[in-house]
Amino acid sequence: MIEADPFAESMQRMVREHLADMAPTAPEESRHAMASSALADEGVSMFQVCVGETVIGMGAFKDLGGQVAELKSMRVSPEFRGRGIGRRLLDELINTAVQRGFSLLCLETGTHEYFTAARRMYQGAGFTQCPPFGDYQLDDNSVYYRRAIG
């Protein structure tokens, strides 16, 4: 995992694919995936996973203040899923967040069946359900998790 430029063509492709995958899972107001421009904001750290020169995964975290970060934009290309890459990416994101001084990681993910594997992965990594955080509101299309780190 290396830090990524959200404006690099390879990352823009990943973000476009990510947003396209999210489209059928919930109404637009319930989809919280970030566009490339938002992933470039100050306070957001974006990372990529590559096989050779090919980007096959991405993930980010956003500084929410007070040593709290939100995991964002977790994705592994479909042809590489089921190999543990997502979990390794998640573990590296957690370790990097610890190194950067965060003590709590939060995340929002969908309730649609498409997100079942992701929810299992987060729960297996020690994340527990919590109420909405930050600017999120209760939404039947979202579930919220958190985990103390560090």
For 8-30, write each residue's pLDDT tens digit. Answer: 999 999 999 998 988 888 888 88
- Cα 122 to Cα 62: distance, rounded to the nearest angstrom: 17
CATH code for position 131: 3.40.630.30
Evaluated on CA atoms 116, 118, 123, 124, the torsion sign reads positive
Give 47-86 pLDDT, tens digit per residue. Answer: 999 999 999 999 999 999 999 999 999 999 999 999 999 9
pLDDT of residue 13: 93
pLDDT surpassing 90 at residue 108: yes
- What domain range is 26 assigned to? 2-148
Mean pLDDT across 85-93: 96
pLDDT of residue 22: 81
Mean pLDDT across 35-52: 93
| Under 8 Å between Cβ of 131 and 144 | yes
Backbone φ and ψ of 3, nearest 5°: -65, 145
Which of 48, 22, 47 lies closest to 33 in space, CA to CA? Answer: 22
pLDDT of residue 124: 97
- Cα 6 to Cα 44: distance, rounded to the nearest angstrom: 10
Predicted structure pTM score: 0.92
Tokens matching residue 23? 């489209």
Count CA within 13 A, CB hemisphere, residue 85.
Answer: 20
Instruction: Using CB atoms within 10 Å of the CB of residue 111, give its burial: 0 to 12 exposed, 13 to 18 middle, 19+ buried.
Output: middle
Q: What is the domain count for the chain?
A: 1
pLDDT of residue 141: 94
